[in-house]
Structure 1
Amino acid sequence: MSTLLERPKGRGRAGSGTVIPGTLPQVNLLPPEVRAARNLRTTKRWLLVSLGLTVVACAVAFGLSLLASATAATELAEAQDETARLQAEQLQYAEVPLVLGMLQQTEAARELGMSTEIPWKAYVDAFGSVLPPGVSVESLTVTQATPMAVGPAAPDVLREAGIGQIRFEGRAVTLPDVAAWIEALDSVPGFTDASVEAVQGSEEVDSGVFYQITTTVQVTQEAYADRFAPTDGEG
């Protein structure tokens, strides 16, 4: 079977298609099956290209994940090694906090125990230095507050209780100047509210007439030694 291609002699009717002048019309004589096979091969090639790109992308992602996993494992191992090292050092100095705690407890106990320390010798000497002439000491008693006990009560309601008290009992051949003696006692730093409690005249065969004198003086917080008191910025 043959097909005769003839040059058209005139224009075709409208709607029958456009014919380019000077060319021959072409007709695709390939069967539809051939065209479908060609299209199928083209589609397969593109599918293979896409599949290859997908495989490459998956391989790259897998490689990156392996690299990230290896890096994470290395960092984990380094962190574990550092933790083990720090724990070993912690065991080495495990007793340090215990020693520091015991030291702090000791310092706190010392501070509390010595918080009421009074250098009594200095104050007894100061008391004796202002004794009027002719007055001798028969007894001298000191009392004071402690961390566990309050100080002595005030001798009367007109005077405040101190943190300590000196009670003097003595004798004098002549009656001393009581006002001057009290003023001298109150002038000693750490002493306050000195008072002559009693003056009683007596007589003995050997010594004759004499006076029994009882005096008290309150000791203030100024008398504290404060050797172990916390300084500014401590405690």
Structure 2
Amino acid sequence: MSAIAASGRDVLIIGGRPTVDLLPPEVKAERRSRAMHRWLIFAVVALAIVVALGVGAAFARNITAQLSYAVAQQHTLELTKSESKYADVFAVKSLIATGQEAQHVVGAPEVDWQGTQAAVVANVPAGTTVKSVAVEQGTPMTEYIQAPVALQAARIATVTLTLSNPGFVPAADFLDGVARVPGYVDAQVTNVEQKGEGDGYETTLIVHLGDAALTNRFVPKEVK
């Protein structure tokens, strides 16, 4: 009879074949040492494989990043070449835009004086002759001086007319007529003078114009 180890427990076997372990302890120890040595080799190899995979992945990421950077650089270079190709077009567009802005600034206070004078002549009493016309207006660099009375409407220009009539004409007739002139703000008769027997009367009429008198030719469409 003999007892053998099974599943970590000592089991008594009756009628079994007797066995005897005649190996010296040194041989058993050497076998265990060899087995441990093999496991250590396997562990080192596995660790080396893991490290190699990590290094390879990092290298692949680095290559991918470098390729992406090279592609981006090439794209930027192509864009730069395209921009330089159309540099003249961009310069012309810039000049046009600058010219349009300057034109808008310079032409902002423009008034159709020919049309305004025609409107005045058409609305003064019959028989009136325009002897002289004087215009005062602001410039792109200087604003037009406004009336000292705060309640009066804003003005952009003043037209002073010297009018001649064969007979006396009440001031109200002049004022009622020029009120229909485009851009009219207000008006006043500052002088009525009889020039002599048979020479008729001379009237000085001042008409103030507002923003409605501007042509707005150079104002961008979206601003109008």
Unaligned stretches of 5+ residues in structure 2:
3-9
2:179 to 186, 207, 210: 186
Q: 1:125 Cα shift? A: 0.9
Structure 1 residues 147 and 33: CA distance shift in structure 2, 3 A? same
Q: 1:42 Cα shift? A: 2.3
1:90 to 60, 66, 83: 83
- Kindly indicate whether residue 209 of structure 2 is the aligned counterpart of residue 216 of structure 1: no
Structure 1 residues 130 and 63: CA distance shift in structure 2, 3 A? closer
Task: Return 107-116 or 209-218, whichever deviates more.
Answer: 209-218
Alignment coverage as a number of residue pairs:
217
Fraction of identical pairs, as percent? 29
Unaligned stretches of 5+ residues in structure 1:
1-6, 9-16
- Kindly indicate whether residue 104 of structure 2 is the aligned counterpart of residue 116 of structure 1: no
The corresponding residue for 2:6 is: none
Preserved CA contact (<8 Å) 1:203 1:209: yes
Task: Return 74-83 or 33-42, whichever deviates more.
Answer: 74-83
Say which one has the larger Rg: 1
Give the root-mean-square deviation of aligned CA atoms.
3.4
The corresponding residue for 1:229 is: 219
Task: Return 104-113 or 62-71, whichever deviates more.
Answer: 62-71
Per the normalisation by structure 1, the TM-score is 0.74
> Partners of 1:80 and 1:123 in 2: how far apart?
63
Structure 1 residues 43 and 117: CA distance shift in structure 2, 3 A? same
Report SS of the residue matched to 1:203.
coil
Report SS of the residue matched to 1:174.
coil
The corresponding residue for 1:133 is: 126
- Kindly indicate whether residue 28 of structure 2 is the aligned counterpart of residue 35 of structure 1: yes
1:83-140 alpha-carbon deviations (Å, 9 max, x no partner): 3222322332345554443332221111111111000111111111223233323222
Equivalent position amino acid for 1:196 in 2: V
Structure 1 residues 41 and 227: CA distance shift in structure 2, 3 A? same
The corresponding residue for 1:171 is: 164
Per the normalisation by structure 2, the TM-score is 0.77
Equivalent position amino acid for 1:107 in 2: Q
Q: 1:223 Cα shift? A: 0.6
Report SS of the residue matched to 2:15.
coil
The corresponding residue for 1:103 is: 96
> Partners of 2:103 and 2:122 in 1: how far apart?
32
The corresponding residue for 1:11 is: none
Preserved CA contact (<8 Å) 1:152 1:161: no
The corresponding residue for 2:7 is: none
1:207-234 alpha-carbon deviations (Å, 9 max, x no partner): x3532221111112111001111333x5
The corresponding residue for 1:203 is: 196
Report SS of the residue matched to 2:204.
strand
